[in-house]
């Protein structure tokens, strides 16, 4: 699995943050392809391959911000985790909120992990690399049976 390109879906409305995450993954060791969706509606459309994302690939990992326009990250999380096909995809909540309630709610909606974005760049880079190390290297993820369809 290390040989193939890892698909990552980043749901993030702030382009600066999105780019920063992209830059962080660029410095990573794993070959990856990062797709950015700017709101919850788009993200779900992508995941369900609705137009204009009919050719979308099912991601290996979803990085989800909580504060999103149109449909919030919490709703997106709830929909993913109640969808038989999508719920196997690990979802990492990556947000600026350090609120206890947000954390609790995310886990009760079956988020796979919850990370507060560090303010400092160095730490942010370390966090992204940790995600990469853990989810894309260390962890064994389910085989994607339906990948490449469409």
Partner 1 sequence: MVDMDHAGVAVAALVGSYDYVLVALSVVIAIMAAYAALDLARRVTFARGWARMLWLTGGAIAMGFGIWSMHYMGMLAFRLSVPVQYDWPTVVWSLIAAIAASAVALIVVSRPKMGIAQALLGSALMGGGIAAMHYIGMAAMRMPAMCSYSPGLVALSVVLAIVISLVALWLTFHFRRDRRSLSWRKSASAVVMGLAIPVMHYTGMAAMTLTPSTGTHGDLSHAINVSSLGVAGIGLVTFVVLGAVFLTNLRFDSLPTARQLATRYFMSLAIISVLAILGALLVEYQGGEVRSGARMIDIAERQKMFSQAITKDALLVERSPAGAQRQRVAEDLRSVAMLWEKSHAALQHGDPTLGASRGNSPQLTALFAALEPDFIAMLDATRGLVEQGAVQTPAVSLGTEVNTILEHEPRFLRGMAAIAAEYEREVTVPDELKNQLQLALLLSVLGVLLVQGVVVLRPALANIQRGISELELTKQALQRNSEELGRSNAELEQFAYVASHDLQEPLRMVASYTQLLARRYRGKLDSEADEFIGFAVDGATRMQTLIRDLLSYSRVMTQGHSLQPADSRVACDMARRNLQKSIEESGATVSVGALPTVHADATQLTQLFQNLIGNALKYRNDRAPQIRVDARADEEAWLFSVQDNGIGIESQYFERIFQMFQRLHTRDEFSGTGIGLAICRRIVERHGGKIWVESEPGRGSTFHFAIPRA
The residues that touch partner 1, with contacts defined as CB under 8 A, are 14, 16-17, 20, 23, 96, 119-122, 124
C-beta of 9: minimal distance to partner 1 in Å? Answer: 22
Nearer to partner 1, 32 or 97 (CB): 97
Smallest gap, in angstroms, from Cβ of residue 119 to partner 1? 5
With respect to partner 1, which residue has the nearer C-beta, 14 or 72? Answer: 14
Q: At its nearest, how many Å lie between partner 1 and the CB of residue 109?
A: 24
User: Which long-range contacts link 91-100 to residues 24+ away (Cβ below 8 Å)?
Assistant: 91/62, 91/64, 92/61, 92/62, 92/63, 92/64, 92/131, 92/135, 93/64, 93/65, 93/66, 94/12, 94/21, 94/63, 94/64, 94/65, 94/131, 95/64, 95/65, 95/66, 95/67, 96/67, 97/66, 97/67
């Amino acid at each position: 699995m290390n040989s193939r390109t890892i698909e990552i879906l980043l749901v993030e409305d702030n382009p600066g943050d999105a780019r920063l995450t992209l830059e962080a993954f660029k410095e990573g060791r794993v070959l990856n392809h990062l797709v950015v969706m700017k709101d919850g509606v788009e993200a779900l459309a992508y995941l369900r391959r609705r137009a204009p994302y009919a050719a979308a690939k099912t991601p290996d990992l979803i990085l989800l911000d909580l504060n999103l326009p149109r449909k919030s990250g919490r709703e997106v999380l709830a929909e993913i985790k109640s969808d038989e096909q999508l719920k196997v995809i690990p979802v990492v909540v990556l947000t600026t909120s350090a609120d206890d309630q947000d954390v609790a709610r995310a886990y009760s909606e079956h988020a796979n992990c919850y990370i507060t974005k560090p303010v400092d760049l160095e730490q942010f880079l370390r966090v992204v690399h940790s995600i990469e190390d853990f989810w894309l290297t260390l962890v064994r993820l389910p085989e994607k049976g339906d990948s490449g369809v469409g």
